Structure 1
Amino acid sequence: MDLPFIVATLTRRGLLTPGRPIRVASQLNALRRWGWSLAGELRQAAARDPGRTAVVDEDGATLTYQELLDRSERLARSLRAGLGVQSGDRIGLLCRNHHGLIEAIVAAMLLGADAVLVNTGLSAAQLATVAQEQQLRVLAHDAEFAERVLALPPEVHRVDERGHEELIAGALPGDQLQPPDRDGRTIVLTSGTTGAPKGARRPTPHGFGPLVSIIDRIPLHARDTVLIAAPIFHTWGYAALQVAFALRATVVLHRRFDPAATLAALTAHSCDAMFAVPVMLQRLMEVPPPDARPPLKVVAVSGSALPGGLATAFMDRFGDVLYNLYGSTEVSWASIAGPADLRAAPTTAGRPPHGTRLEILDAADRPVPAGQVGRIFVGNEMLFEGYTSGTTRESHDGLLDTGDLGRVDADGRLFVDGRADDMIVSGGENVFPSEVEDLIARLPQVREVAVIGVPDPEYGQRLAAFLALHPGEQLDPEAVREYVRHYLARFSVPRDVVFVKYLPRNATGKVLGRELRRYYG
């Protein structure tokens, strides 16, 4: 990425404003010595703005950047002295969004250990498998998961929230921590919507490039106040934390997402920005609108597709503040859609940011014309380093396969049609469930919808639509089919229309297709 673009973007976002020379020097020295990991970002923020509030928890706990760094360093020293954690070890983190999770991630990186971010929705059996596959030395967990961790192998040290505080309080004084001989990695577990979660090794940024790619297109500024509603164990929530620390922002956290409490917090803390997943926006739209619009300038979402009509409805209520980032654990980001894109084409994933390459390729790895569907390949500075199992994803000319199918229109906007393995062939015709989902979601009676492919003895596969309606609403299955038939081809009409109370989702809001397929044995 070219230096003039980096400097111009950092200046525009307030990161190059003058400061006290000694603090600016300490800030730059922290980045030089500790790099751009979360530990390095926290150190540079504490060096430049030690007294600025770093984290506000929903229980009222408030920590400055210096306090957060001090607690993280004490925890790191205790993990090393008391539990023998060394560079290269792995620490599992089964936590919701609160300052203790941040301290544990930073402590791991201060020691050169890998932080394994564990999905809070995993069962006890899945958790035991993850602990074994990832060779965890320690698992830090919230008290609410105490029963779930009982099945862990005895060699895994378990640290609950009380133990976390005891480790910090009991840290022995010692020399300042030195940069480890290896960078601690962040290992994110894939969502596991279609099978067992896999550990994906996330790279450490090597400069300002990744940050600049994001804040050039999403107008976040130094010292903003940011509510992170997306789970931090998810790639998007973790990215939000990285960006916030780089900006020396104040981070507001709630352990669980509650739409009414979130709206209240946005106003109470005068939040400039919120990071969320799309289903959270749906829930926010279901509660009565506040008397005064929250002072948001940015609502950044990622993690799943925006359902039909949600983007414009949300902006009609909260202003043109919505930014939709399309990416994955493996490729980080691929494209970003801003308010103008979403007004013009509400289902678009936007355009690649600066420094990102995106190509739509056919089965023979040849670029396809505009408007034609193909496989989405992406290249940027933050492609993952492979799965912890030793496998990786298909690549072509430095670009990584996202596993999704999509197309680019004549204006250069990307549209994602869905996972390649979600596309079905019904009676010889290719059908994308996402197109049908988007259409059905526009029905005013529908709260949420998922469309999947199921086996069919005559056509090979057929579509099944699962609908959860708003309270008090009713729909007839044939009316749904007739509605789809009016707008789409006959092979896109779901032959099965199933009404459910709610859709099964994982902790990041993605619908669990495997749970829906159980209706068919």
Structure 2
Amino acid sequence: MAGSNFTEHLRRQALRRADHQALVDGADRWTYAELDADVDRYAAALREAGVATGDLVGVLGRNTGRYVLELLALSRLGAVSVPLNWRLHAAEQAYVVEQAGITGLLYDDDFADEAAHVAGATGLRLLVANETRVVADARRLADLLAAQPAGVRVPDVERGPADLHRLLYTSGTTARPKGVMHTCGNLTANHLAQILELELTPADRILVSAPLFHVSGLEAPGLAVFVAGATMVLTPTFQPADIARIADAERITGMVLAAQILFGLLDLAEPPELATLRYLLFAGVAPSVRQQVKRRLPHVRLVDTFGMTELCNGVCYLDAAHEESKLGALGAPFPGVHIRIVDEDFQPVAPGVEGEIIVRGEKISPGYWRDDEANRRTRRDGWFRTGDVGRIDADGYLWFVDRRTDLIKSGGENVASAEVERVLAQHPDVAEVAVIGVPDPRWDEVPKAFVILREGATTTAEQLREHCRAALARYKVPRYVQLVATLPRNDSGKVLKKALREEPVVPR
């Protein structure tokens, strides 16, 4: 698969569709000609700040037109963007910055305190304040932009398919976040697949409500919108009412929604008409809910998917022709993607037989950044081992069976039980701990901790939760902490989390 600098597409669109709307952020709107010119300005400004080809640069901010411009400008310069999860604790941000080797940070005012903490705890050499709050020796983006001459042009740095485009950090199933590498070739393969599978054209207006530090915000279809010459529309919040209002007002034709937002839309007193919507992309929604949505929106294609950050978003979408006959399936593989089900000996199984889902293809990440152990564990013979359980039917459609055992999915975020266990184990009164995910009507799952205290300790469950709040993002803090005398174990001493999941949820 040939690869190139993604922002070369903007040059082409600026020539072919100069006056076509490219990006919408509330009242701020860019045509393709304006977007391309502003990306040049931002690239020149960041270059003046000290960003160079190959630098790893963190971006800490909410979904705005400025955020998109910064990502595109970093691409134009040949720098590696690292969109940072603003829900993480400042200490977690500092770990990511150090582990990745990030040298620059662009931050919004909302996250100035986190930026200050990271600047003092890591080896950052440059900071850019996107708004007014200046920390350490940060330079203001407005000043950098004002210093650029009118009509400045910055050429796209040449990139090959194996060159690193960005890092996306995901908690995965280990105690520390892992940096997933996305190459220029990964993006090229994903964008072509998105255009084919979602049938994107310049007439599309795609709503991006998922945060741009998530693969679902960046690549479902995300940046492929610009490759298709379509329009990207951003939402300022994840609130169902805001999404409904914008989807109707902006004549949205496609969007991806987390399950809890979809439920929120259905529960609105005045649900949106969504007359122009032609597809709705989601995952993890029960077949009965899909049928309910279809009854309300019979004109909309409902697209289920199987995806991960490591796969550069989804690797299969359920097609419109099989929306009813394959209800519950996740679709057939994208072009250029192969999916296989294997047994415990890594041998392929027959159609309909359950096993581990493994994937290979041009859009699959080459691995984790600076993490050889994780790469050895998840790669074999050119395949990526998802750890998820599924089956493939006789027609080649993937059916999901179960998720990776120790990964907690909470409100669309991955929470590694090992990470929460590590933090709880640091409390001086904790002798042993095990963390699982338990069902939650709003967030799908929330963390629950089983804790054995040291002899004589009187620490309460709420005190342990407070300990977690000092080191973890809010969504990772256990909703429930149950103090226990023992933990169920097998003959080798391993905690039996399956048995813990069968325990009733008790108030904290």
| Aligned counterparts of 1:65 and 1:259: Cα–Cα separation in 2 | 29
1:228 maps to what in 2?
208
| Aligned counterparts of 2:79 and 2:442: Cα–Cα separation in 1 | 46
Deviation of the 1:115 alpha carbon = 0.3
On the 8 A contact 2:87/2:474 being kept in 1, the answer is no
Equivalent in 116, 140, 161 of residue 130 of structure 2: 161
* CA offset digits 1:211-235 (Å, max 9, x no partner): 3323333232223111111222111
Task: Count residues with an aligned counterpart.
Answer: 416
Deviation of the 1:345 alpha carbon = 4.5
Deviation of the 1:386 alpha carbon = 1.6
2:304 maps to what in 1?
324
Equivalent in 53, 59, 64 of residue 21 of structure 2: 53
| Aligned counterparts of 2:272 and 2:309: Cα–Cα separation in 1 | 38
* CA offset digits 1:278-300 (Å, max 9, x no partner): 33212211213437343100112
- Is 1:170 aligned to residue 147 of structure 2? yes
Which residue identity is paired with 2:14?
A
* CA offset digits 1:410-469 (Å, max 9, x no partner): 44321222333349xxxxxxxxx99xx9xxxxxxxxxxxx9x99x9xxxxx999853438
SS at match of 1:55: strand
1:404 maps to what in 2?
388
| Aligned counterparts of 2:401 and 2:476: Cα–Cα separation in 1 | 16
- Is 1:299 aligned to residue 265 of structure 2? no
SS at match of 2:332: coil
* CA offset digits 1:272-319 (Å, max 9, x no partner): 1113333321221121343734310011235xx224522222222122
2:439 maps to what in 1?
466
Tell me the TM-score normalized by structure 2.
0.74
| Aligned counterparts of 1:173 and 1:293: Cα–Cα separation in 2 | 41
1:43 maps to what in 2?
11
1:11 maps to what in 2?
none
| Aligned counterparts of 1:464 and 1:101: Cα–Cα separation in 2 | 33
Which residue identity is paired with 2:154?
L
Go from structure 1 to structure 2 and tell me whether the alpha carbon gap of 1:464 and 1:193 turns closer, same or farther (over 3 Å shift): closer
| Aligned counterparts of 2:435 and 2:366: Cα–Cα separation in 1 | 37
Which residue identity is paired with 2:218?
Y
Go from structure 1 to structure 2 and tell me whether the alpha carbon gap of 1:322 and 1:93 turns closer, same or farther (over 3 Å shift): same
Go from structure 1 to structure 2 and tell me whether the alpha carbon gap of 1:394 and 1:273 turns closer, same or farther (over 3 Å shift): same
| Aligned counterparts of 1:325 and 1:94: Cα–Cα separation in 2 | 28
On the 8 A contact 2:41/2:153 being kept in 1, the answer is no
1:24 maps to what in 2?
none
On the 8 A contact 1:87/1:181 being kept in 2, the answer is no
| Aligned counterparts of 1:511 and 1:417: Cα–Cα separation in 2 | 29
Unaligned runs of 5+ residues in structure 1 are 2-31, 424-432, 438-449, 456-460, 471-509
| Aligned counterparts of 1:45 and 1:276: Cα–Cα separation in 2 | 28
1:375 maps to what in 2?
356
RMSD (CA atoms) = 3.3
Q: Write out aligned runs for 1:108-123 (5 A).
A: 108-123=74-89
- Is 1:180 aligned to residue 157 of structure 2? yes
Go from structure 1 to structure 2 and tell me whether the alpha carbon gap of 1:463 and 1:230 turns closer, same or farther (over 3 Å shift): closer
| Aligned counterparts of 1:420 and 1:514: Cα–Cα separation in 2 | 20
Which residue identity is paired with 1:136?
I
- Is 1:343 aligned to residue 324 of structure 2? yes
Deviation of the 1:371 alpha carbon = 2.3
Equivalent in 136, 143, 146 of residue 102 of structure 2: 136
Deviation of the 1:344 alpha carbon = 3.4
Equivalent in 240, 244, 265 of residue 259 of structure 1: 240
Equivalent in 43, 68, 72 of residue 76 of structure 1: 43
Unaligned runs of 5+ residues in structure 2 are 132-139, 422-433, 444-472, 485-508
On the 8 A contact 2:173/2:406 being kept in 1, the answer is no
Equivalent in 173, 178, 194 of residue 214 of structure 1: 194
Equivalent in 344, 355, 364 of residue 363 of structure 1: 344
| Aligned counterparts of 2:191 and 2:158: Cα–Cα separation in 1 | 25
| Aligned counterparts of 1:277 and 1:137: Cα–Cα separation in 2 | 33
| Aligned counterparts of 1:36 and 1:79: Cα–Cα separation in 2 | 21
Equivalent in 49, 61, 64 of residue 95 of structure 1: 61
Q: Write out aligned runs for 1:185-200 (5 A).
A: 185-192=165-172, 195-200=175-180
On the 8 A contact 1:222/1:248 being kept in 2, the answer is yes
Go from structure 1 to structure 2 and tell me whether the alpha carbon gap of 1:464 and 1:51 turns closer, same or farther (over 3 Å shift): closer
SS at match of 2:93: helix
Deviation of the 1:514 alpha carbon = 7.1
Go from structure 1 to structure 2 and tell me whether the alpha carbon gap of 1:206 and 1:189 turns closer, same or farther (over 3 Å shift): closer
